[in-house]
Structure 1
């Protein structure tokens, strides 16, 4: 596992199983998320209005993973969100959405 998240780069941490993983909203990650989820501004609006779906949240986290160790699945990301609850993953979501809106 690499070094922790750098908030100055818009990174956040997400616990998946026993390990902490870094979420980095890089250009490539956000393009991939947008291709799957639609326009990012609409995603931000849905989140602000309480309409962000669990699948969308898991997809955004999946695409923004800085590293994907062998064996890590998208389903594991979704299960980690469910296991921790929305309140626990909201800081990571807030960081990513903030980077989408503000940029670096």
Structure 2
């Protein structure tokens, strides 16, 4: 389990609780490239978010690629179910942090 308190917002990191664990989301270059390969241009993703058109699958995909230390037993499907199970409101702080990182590019 990661310590969510170790998320460094200056680096664009965020924490999310999923499947009973606090997981660190780190939007590294490699993570964002992998997310972009699957989701398409990240700026378009940010635009869809601003328009309220972001889909749950897109949020889960972005989070999945940004997981810093993915627990071995955690599958993408289980992770998606955990994110969906806690609702959009619980995911919004982490999503906001990641989207800001995409725009700022620190």
Partner of 2:46: 44
Determine the C-alpha separation between the residues in 1 that align with 2:59 and 2:71.
Answer: 20
Aligned Cα RMSD in Å? 0.9
Moved over 3 A (4+): none
TM-score, normalized by length of structure 2? Answer: 0.94
Map of 1:44-63 to 2, 5 A cutoff? 44-63=46-65
Partner of 1:16: 18
Is the contact made by 2:2 and 2:22 (CA closer than 8 Å) also made in structure 1? Answer: no
SS in 1 for 2:96: helix
Please list every run of 5 or more consecutive structure 2 residues that lacks an aligned counterpart in the other structure. none
Is the contact made by 1:61 and 1:77 (CA closer than 8 Å) also made in structure 2? Answer: no
Map of 1:85-104 to 2, 5 A cutoff? 85-104=87-106
Please list every run of 5 or more consecutive structure 1 residues that lacks an aligned counterpart in the other structure. none
SS in 2 for 1:31: helix
